[in-house]
Structure 1
């Protein structure tokens, strides 16, 4: 469960767009962010955030900055995060340096959490939410393949909450129930749309 934590109210007073990517376990969020990063790697107006996480650097999954609990606390006290939150025993932080990219009018893409979206909304005036979803049976199959939970545990996880985003947010939904290539193209299309928004002011 994500606990309400902190948002820096001055972090997002800029011209750029913060796009936060969210989605349930098994939806393929990390994979799609990685593929989008590859596509936009040389684009001068797109910045992908490396989150600070109290998790081992070699734990797999996303490319992140690994710190200890003590290190995270010190960074938080120093004002090093634009947004930070806690979920499932880990702490996550969006570095305050993203404000420099936003001030330059860039599209900033961050891996987020649906239950922390109110923190992002407080920190970033121009917030876009990209919700990666998949049909329940697809999610169940992917989670089953990981082998970390029993079938009953997976069903209980999927029953705990909706797959959609609740709240007053500007949300784009991407269904990743089909091929990863189709979802990759959809993510790229969405990000290109945000870049068009930036050009139009």
Structure 2
């Protein structure tokens, strides 16, 4: 039996990294691995359990086929290590922190992936983005405008599971684990 790829997406500031940290142990207990992605951002600025690479290092690794998935967004490059293919082949479920803009390409490579879109109420998202202080007000407004395009109807149309993270991280974590468990039961 092969594992399943769980492709978590959501706007910047939606709490993807916080959610992954909150459920890491419980996912591991269920045989689910969280893949560490590579990002062309300094290790100090990552804010997630990721591998920091320079743009040149990323290009070399990408050209060498080190990534199962890679994309560019918001001036950065992101890569999911090819190791996920080994984990999936061994029957392990793998959760990746993906990109909504790269979903079509991810589905080409992994047609049975389980897409999960993390959503957050706009006021909560604005506050989170302001609090973390990584973007200018203009960049925050651009992110909020892009996020407004993705609603429940678009998630359903794209075959995604919508997961609200506007309240407690514990509730979102419980809901993510339930969703993954329900998906396993339907497989």
TM-score, length basis structure 2: 0.86
1:40 Cα deviation from its structure 2 partner? 2.1
Is the partner of 1:178 in helix, strand or coil?
coil
Q: For residues 52 and 176 of structure 1, what CA distance do their matches in structure 2 show?
A: 24
Please tell me whether residue 190 in structure 1 is matched to residue 179 in structure 2.
yes
Please tell me whether residue 86 in structure 1 is matched to residue 75 in structure 2.
no
Q: For residues 104 and 136 of structure 2, what CA distance do their matches in structure 1 show?
A: 32
Which of 52, 58, 68 is matched with 1:72 structurally? Answer: 58
Judged with a 3 Å threshold, the aligned counterparts in structure 2 of structure 1 residues 139 and 31 are, in CA distance, closer, same or farther, namely same
Please tell me whether residue 139 in structure 1 is matched to residue 128 in structure 2.
no
Which of 162, 172, 180 is matched with 2:169 structurally? Answer: 180
Query: Which has the higher mean CA deviation after the structures are superposed, 101-110 or 157-166?
Result: 157-166
More helix by percentage: 2
1:36 — aligned with what?
A: 23
Deviations along 1:105-136, whole A, 9 cap, x unmatched? 22110001100111111111211111110111
1:112 — aligned with what?
A: 98
Aligned length: 184
Q: CA contact under 8 A between 1:20 and 1:127: conserved in structure 2?
A: yes
Deviations along 1:114-170, whole A, 9 cap, x unmatched? 001111111112111111101111112222223445656534431234233569643
1:124 — aligned with what?
A: 110
2:160 — aligned with what?
A: 171
Segments of 5+ residues of structure 1 without an aligned counterpart are: 1-13
